[in-house]
Chain A
C-alpha cells in the first residue's frame, strides 16, 4: 500500500518537475519582456514596474500584423495543395496500385530523411532563376515539394488499409476514378487528412531555413523566419526581443491550445508512422 502511494507521489513529483522544466523558458521570456527596454536584467525577476509597453512597441516594430498575414498566406499556399496532391498520390499508390506504383513510392521514400540543408544551395539558384526570390512563392513551392515524401507516405499508409470492396461496389455502379476518389475514399480518409493538415501547418509555420535563405523581407517570411529577422535587428535590446518573441509565439500557442487533442494525436501518429 505504502509502496504504491510512494510510487504515485514520486510520479506526481516527477511530472511537476518536468512541467516546470518545460515552462521555465516561457516564464523567463515573459518576466524579461516586462523589464525596462534596453537593459540587461537578471534572468527571473518580476520587475518593479512592469513595462507592458514593450509588447506594444514590439508589435509595432515587428509589424506583427503583416507577419501574421504573411504566415497565413504561406500556410494557405502550402497546406491545402500539399494535402490534396499527396492524398491523390497516396490513393494512386496505395489503392489503385497502378503499374510502377512501388517504384513511384520508392522515389518518394528517397526524400524521407533528406535534411533541407542538403538541397538548399541549388534550391536557391533554382528559385533565383525562376525569378521568385524574395517572394512568398519562394517558400511555398519548394515546401510543397519537400513535404511530399512524408505526406505521400502518410496517405498511402491509410489507403493501403482502405477496403477494396467499396471500390468494387462503386465501380459496378458506374463511378469513374475521380468520383471514386473524391466521393468515396476522401471522406473515409478524413482522420488521416486532418492529422496531416495539422502536421503540415505546424511545419510550415515554423519553417526557418528556407525563410532566411530565400526571402529577405520579413513581411514575406514565415513567423519563424520573421523571428530571425527580429532578433537580427532588435536582438541587442533583450526585453524588447523577449516581448517580440512571445508575441510571435502567441498564434501558434493559441492554435495549439485550441486544438490540443488533435495536435497530440497527429504528432504521435506522425512520429510513429515516420
Chain B
C-alpha cells in the first residue's frame, strides 16, 4: 500500500484515470444516457420529436412482433449457451486424459479458429453450408436421410435452430478449451482418492469435476448468454430476421427500427429493455459463482 503522501500524490490517480474516463464518458456514458432519453420520445431522427412518456415501453411489452424478438433471443440461449457448455463439458471430460498430447495442442489451435474470425464470416460460411445444395444436405443425403433435406435457413420451423447452430459452432471451441483448462487445474489427488474409494466416471464427474469448474462454467455461461441476447452479426448476414420474423432478434430489430423505419424512440426503448435483460441474466450468474467461490 502506498504510504499516504502529499495531497498531490493522493490525487495524482485522477490524472491517470482521466483520459480513460473522458473517452468512456463521451462515447459510452453520454450515448447511454441519450438512449434512455430517446426512449421517452417519439422521434424520426430528422425532424422534431414529441414526448411519448412510457408509451414506447408499453409497445415493447405488448407488440407481439417485439415480444417475439425477445423470445427468440432467449431461445437462442439454448443453442448459444446450453449446447456449448454441456457439449463442452462432455468433450472436455472425455479428452482430459489425453490433454497433454500433441494432438491436443493442435486441437486447441483448431478449436479456437471460430473465435478468431469475424462473426459475419461464420454467418456467410454457414449460410452456404445450410443452403439447399450445401454440405449439411449433402451429408444428410449420404447417410440416407435425403428426405429431411431442405433450405434450413429459409424454413419457418428450422431457421432459428439453424442460426443457433451457427452460434454453437462459434462458441463450442471456446467453452471446450476453457473447461479443459479448468479441469487440468483440479488437483489430481482428488481423483486418486475417488478412484481408491471405487467411484465411477459419473460420481467423479458430479462430485469433483463439476464443483471444481464452477468458475469456468460461470464464465462460459456469461459469455454465451451475452452473445445470444445481443446477437446481431450472424442474423444480419444470414437471414436478416427472416423468414417472416422467425429469426428476428432484439439487436437487429433495434437497428431496423432506428435506421430503416425511423422510429428512434421505440428503438431506444427496446435497447433499454435489452440492456436490462442482459444485466438481469448475467448478474445472478456472477453472484452465484462468486458466492460459492468463497
Contact, CB under 8 Å: B24 / A119: no
A4 cross-chain contacts in B, Cβ below 8 A = 97
Q: Is A74 an interface residue (CB 8 A)?
A: no
A6 to chain B, nearest CB (A): 11
Q: For residues 1 through 35 of chain B, which have their beta carbon under 8 Å from a beta carbon of chain A?
A: 1-3, 5, 9-17, 19-21, 23-32, 34-35
A167 cross-chain contacts in B, Cβ below 8 A = 2
Q: Is A184 an interface residue (CB 8 A)?
A: no
Contact, CB under 8 Å: B113 / A11: no
Closest to A101 in B: B13
Contact, CB under 8 Å: B119 / A208: yes
From B21, B34, B106, B226, contact of A113 by CB (8 A):
B226
Give Cα distance in the complex from A228 to B118, angstroms: 10
Contact, CB under 8 Å: A85 / B116: no
Contact, CB under 8 Å: A114 / B275: yes
Contact, CB under 8 Å: B13 / A98: yes
Contact, CB under 8 Å: B124 / A142: no
A56-71 interface bits toward B, Cβ cutoff 8 Å, 1 = contact, 0 = none: 0000000000000000
Give Cα distance in the complex from A238 to B125, angstroms: 11
**A86-B20, A122-B35, A256-B112 as given contacts; A117 in contact with B255, CB under 8 Å:** yes
Give Cα distance in the complex from A249 to B121, angstroms: 8
B184 to chain A, nearest CB (A): 11
B262-274 interface bits toward A, Cβ cutoff 8 Å, 1 = contact, 0 = none: 0010011001101
Contact, CB under 8 Å: B125 / A25: yes
From B9, B24, B104, contact of A15 by CB (8 A):
B104
A218 to chain B, nearest CB (A): 13
Contact, CB under 8 Å: B272 / A264: no
Task: Tell me if A's interface is mostly helix, strand, loop or mixed.
Answer: helix
Q: Determine, out of B52-60, B75-83, B126-134, B155-163, the stretch whose residues face the partner at the interface.
A: B126-134
A247 to chain B, nearest CB (A): 11
Contact, CB under 8 Å: B91 / A89: no
Chain B interfacial residues counted at CB < 8 A: 103
Task: Tell me if B's interface is mostly helix, strand, loop or mixed.
Answer: helix
Q: For residues 97 through 123 of chain A, which have their beta carbon under 8 Å from a beta carbon of chain B?
A: 97-101, 104, 107-108, 110-111, 113-123
Q: Determine, out of B174-182, B186-194, B203-211, the stretch whose residues face the partner at the interface.
A: B174-182
B88 to chain A, nearest CB (A): 10
From A98, A117, A124, A168, contact of B14 by CB (8 A):
A98
- B interface residues, Cβ below 8 angstroms from A: 1-3, 5, 9-17, 19-21, 23-32, 34-35, 38, 45, 91, 94-95, 97-98, 103-104, 106-122, 124-126, 128-129, 131, 133-138, 169, 172-174, 176-178, 181, 215-216, 219-220, 222-223, 226, 229-230, 232-233, 236-237, 250-251, 254-255, 258-259, 264, 267-268, 271-272, 274-275, 278-279, 282
Contact, CB under 8 Å: A115 / B251: yes
Q: For residues 35 through 50 of chain A, which have their beta carbon under 8 Å from a beta carbon of chain B?
A: 40-44
B13 to chain A, nearest CB (A): 3
Closest to A127 in B: B27
A42 to chain B, nearest CB (A): 5
Give Cα distance in the complex from A54 to B24, angstroms: 43
Contact, CB under 8 Å: B17 / A41: no
From A40, A98, A252, contact of B116 by CB (8 A):
A252
Closest 3 CB pairs of A and B: A98-B13, A145-B27, A115-B230
Give Cα distance in the complex from A25 to B170, angstroms: 11
Q: Is A202 an interface residue (CB 8 A)?
A: yes
Give Cα distance in the complex from A104 to B15, angstroms: 12
Q: Is A181 an interface residue (CB 8 A)?
A: yes
Give Cα distance in the complex from A85 to B34, angstroms: 25
A89 cross-chain contacts in B, Cβ below 8 A = 16-17, 19-21
B215 to chain A, nearest CB (A): 7
From A209, A227, A274, contact of B121 by CB (8 A):
A227
B236 cross-chain contacts in A, Cβ below 8 A = 208, 212, 228
From B107, B125, B268, contact of A245 by CB (8 A):
B125
Q: Is A206 an interface residue (CB 8 A)?
A: yes
